Structure 1
Amino acid sequence: MKYYLIAGERSGDTHAAHLLRELKSQDPGADFRYWGGDQMEAEGGHLVRHYRELAVMGFWETATSLLKFRGFLKQCQADILAYRPDVLILVDYGGFNLRMAAWAKAHGIRVFYYISPKIWAWNQSRVEKIKALVDKMFVILPFESEFYQRFEYKVDYIGNPTADEVAAFQQDPNFMAQHGLDPERKIIAVLPGSRKQEIEEMLHEMLAVLPAFQDYQFVVAAVSNLDRAYYAHFERNGIKLVFDQAYDLLSRASAALVTSGTATLETALFGVPQVVCYRTSGLTYMIGKAVIKVPYISLVNLIVGRTVVEEFIQGDFTARNLLDELKRLLTDEAYIAKQKAGYAELREKLGQHNAARQAAALMINYLGEKQAAA
């Protein structure tokens, strides 16, 4: 079968790459074409456009990029028509991918959605659009099944791919020596995000607490989809950078400062005490505050359903607040134990399902049923 995938962000590239691997394993005749990234490309098929060209965050920032996005939409649509896939598989990235779903439906192309866009957080009216446009939805958060059920839309919960990836991770034994890290000093991991807009908002504030923690090593999880030179001015006062090795970093960290996103879930699954941070432009924040329908921004708190990790958002995201919270995460044993008990609840709720394998099996089965019916 012929599969066309669209992943518009780094985390989507990771999850889609594992899905590609499973589809290849279960469908020997599989052929792939996609918008994605390096990890998908490593699995074979044809990379049409890299996600680094698509990554934009925030309501205002997205609005100012509309002309560019319209051009991308037209390019993607023309490429799909030329390729004529059996199915279009959309991976998260709701703004772009829901437009592609509408177009695909109008052109009689079957649409699967792997990893639901976060419509439960805002603009829940999009459920009706998804019901009309998406043939099969595969969700990775336990509460998403219940959310869609309220709208009488049946979805498949296939487990959480991040939980699978963390469970399968094996440490690089050369990590510490390779990056010149002191094995005798504890590590504070700094995860500022993977998009330039995020990093510009987050990293300076995160690193402002460093003078109060001279006995620790601050190590920043950097990403290679951004130019290494961009990070150069952060390499000061003993701050270390590691590229594309966040799991090796987290597996050795004593605490972490984390930008809201998938990294909060990864940090929790590694059992690392963390504080979650987020800041965006003033206009984006005002719009977001008016429309967001959930009480938390971190996946950890959302999945468990209560405050497990502290969240510092917008005006609360200050060096003073970070300093106080980080001290608690490093020294208050009762506070640390309470957070780790929440992490245990999180793991229980997520379970172990091998999400990519389940999704691939279901997709192939659904496509086979469609062909049989035809």
Structure 2
Amino acid sequence: MKYYIIAGEASGDLHGSNLMKSIYKEDAQASIRFWGGDLMQKAGGTLVKHYRDLSFMGFAEVIMNLKTILGNIKICKKDILEFKPDVIIFIDYPGFNMRIAKWAKKRGIKTHFYISPQIWAWKENRISAIKRDFDELYIILPFEKDFYEKKHNFLVHFVGHPLIDAINNHEIQSDEIFRAENNLDKRPIIALLPGSRKQEITKMLSVMLSIVEDFAAYQFVIAGAPSQEFSFYKTFLNTENVHFISNKTYDLLSISHAALVTSGTATLETALFKVPEVVCYKGGWISYQIAKRVITLKYISLVNLIMDREVVKELIQDEFNTKNLKIELEKILDIQNRERIFKDYEALEANLGGEGASDKTAKLIVNAIK
């Protein structure tokens, strides 16, 4: 059968690649075209467009790049019509994917949404479009099931969180080999995860690096996003005691003592690796002013949202500054605080539904379109 998959971000590329592997196990004759990234390309199939050409951060940035976005939508529709898939699998990325789903549904193409948009955070009115335009919805956060089924009378499939599989299946380098290959000494490592888009990386790293000289007993390592070239990071590597690795975030987290993490999927990845973290976020002024008026959640990190309490500290917008970041990093380096964090992380993982999200989803999709 023929599968068309659309993922528009780094996290979608990761989950899309594992879903593709599971689809191939369920359907050995599967033919797959996709919008995604390097990981999906390694899994097989044909790449139509890379997500690095699709990512625009914030309200203002979307408006500035509207012509490009509309052009990509046109390209996508044309490619779908030529491929004639048995199903389109949308992975998060709602602004783009929901437009395509509305169009595809009218043409009788099966539409499946894997990793639903976070409409429980904002734009809850999108529920009517989701119920109208998607045949099946596969959710990965435990509280989403009640949101869709009890609040909005829309049956969904809770498949567990695919990050558990992604982490368990990743072959981790040993501490000794990783340090040797990346010229790291024996001091404890503080990982810096500044995001995947140029705009956010620039904003986040400038503050993250401002505290380095106050923690000489540690070494700081920037986790480079696979979507960005090394040349982009060069300007940030003038600070002493700062190292850089690219596309090895899991290996880095596996031996890190603490982490400073930009809000997003990486906050949950860091927690699953049992690394105490400070969650950071700073957006453009206009984008932030709009967002804080439409988003009513108590937290921005997945860790705190899933646990429904503050497990990790969040420094948002003006609170994300050198003084506060230094204070919060010192707190998570304290052994007593760390013991509490580790217990919370264990409870977090138990809430996520266990292993097998990709396999469960692939089986449901294949059976639905047979």
The TM-score by the shorter chain falls in which range? over 0.9
Does the CA contact (< 8 Å) of 1:92 and 1:114 recur in 2? yes
Does the CA contact (< 8 Å) of 2:191 and 2:260 recur in 1? yes
Between the aligned partners of 1:24 and 1:224, the Cα distance in structure 2 is 25
The residue type equivalent to 2:5 in the other structure is L
For normalisation by structure 2, the TM-score amounts to: 0.97
Shift of 1:120: 1.1
Please tell me whether residue 151 in structure 1 is matched to residue 152 in structure 2: yes
Shift of 1:352: 1.2
Match runs of 1:319-334 below 5 Å: 319-331=322-334, 333-334=335-336
Between the aligned partners of 1:293 and 1:112, the Cα distance in structure 2 is 28
Deviations 1:95-149 (A, max 9, x none): 0000011110111111000111111110001011100000000011111111111
Match of 1:250 among 235, 246, 253: 253
2:65 corresponds to: 65
Shift of 1:167: 2.4
Match runs of 1:160-239 below 5 Å: 160-173=161-174, 174-182=177-185, 184-236=186-238, 237-239=240-242
Shift of 1:166: 1.7
Match of 2:356 among 349, 354, 357: 354
For normalisation by structure 1, the TM-score amounts to: 0.96
1:306 corresponds to: 309
The residue type equivalent to 1:234 in the other structure is F
Between the aligned partners of 1:334 and 1:128, the Cα distance in structure 2 is 47
Shift of 1:181: 0.5
The residue type equivalent to 1:94 in the other structure is P
Match of 1:297 among 294, 297, 300: 300
Identity score, percent: 46
* Structure 1 counterpart SS, 2:227: coil
The residue type equivalent to 1:88 in the other structure is I
Runs of 4+ in 1 over 4 A off after TM superposition: none
The Cα RMSD (Å) is: 0.9
Shift of 1:351: 2.8
The residue type equivalent to 1:148 in the other structure is Y
2:108 corresponds to: 108
The residue type equivalent to 1:213 in the other structure is F
Does the CA contact (< 8 Å) of 1:120 and 1:293 recur in 2? no
Match of 2:338 among 336, 339, 355: 336
Shift of 1:190: 0.5
Shift of 1:224: 2.9
The residue type equivalent to 1:144 in the other structure is E
Does the CA contact (< 8 Å) of 2:18 and 2:166 recur in 1? no
Does the CA contact (< 8 Å) of 2:159 and 2:353 recur in 1? no
| Unaligned residue ranges in structure 2 (runs of 5+) | none
Between the aligned partners of 1:102 and 1:158, the Cα distance in structure 2 is 24
| Unaligned residue ranges in structure 1 (runs of 5+) | 369-374
* Structure 1 counterpart SS, 2:124: coil
Between the aligned partners of 1:187 and 1:127, the Cα distance in structure 2 is 43
Q: Describe the shift of the 1:170–1:46 C-alpha distance in structure 2 as closer, same or farther (beyond 3 A).
A: closer
Does the CA contact (< 8 Å) of 2:212 and 2:241 recur in 1? no
Deviations 1:41-62 (A, max 9, x none): 1111110111100011111211
Deviations 1:186-222 (A, max 9, x none): 1000000011111011011011010110111000000
Between the aligned partners of 1:142 and 1:16, the Cα distance in structure 2 is 20
* Structure 2 counterpart SS, 1:125: helix
Between the aligned partners of 2:304 and 2:298, the Cα distance in structure 1 is 9
Between the aligned partners of 1:17 and 1:320, the Cα distance in structure 2 is 40
The residue type equivalent to 1:152 in the other structure is N
